[in-house]
Amino acid sequence: MTQEEQNTIVGRFFIALDWLKETRQIRGIKTFTDRYGIHRRSLQRLRETPSTNDFKAVWLTYLVVDFGIDAAWLLTGEGRMHA
């Protein structure tokens, strides 16, 4: 995977997180990080600089399994974000 592809996936990850916040499925980023044991600063740094190596693929799994975000959309941008 190229750095550009990873940055694009990271971008969709944050689009999904923002959508979850807007639809009140999570209260905010802190809710997400606390629930999954993620250091909030890691997500802040990742949002500011997507090319850092802070991104963990398992974070996508949380969105797919627990919130119904479409895995194909996260990885490719095709289809709808949420069914």
Q: What is the pTM of this model?
A: 0.92
Place of tokens 């969105």: 63
Strand runs (DSSP E) across the chain, as ranges? none
| pLDDT grade for 21, boundaries at 50, 70 and 90 | very high
Task: Indicate whether 83 pLDDT > 90.
Answer: no
Percent of the chain with pLDDT over 90: 80
Instruction: Tell me the per-residue pLDDT of 39-53, one tens digit each, with 9 for 90 and over.
Output: 999 899 999 998 887
Which pLDDT belongs to residue 64? 97
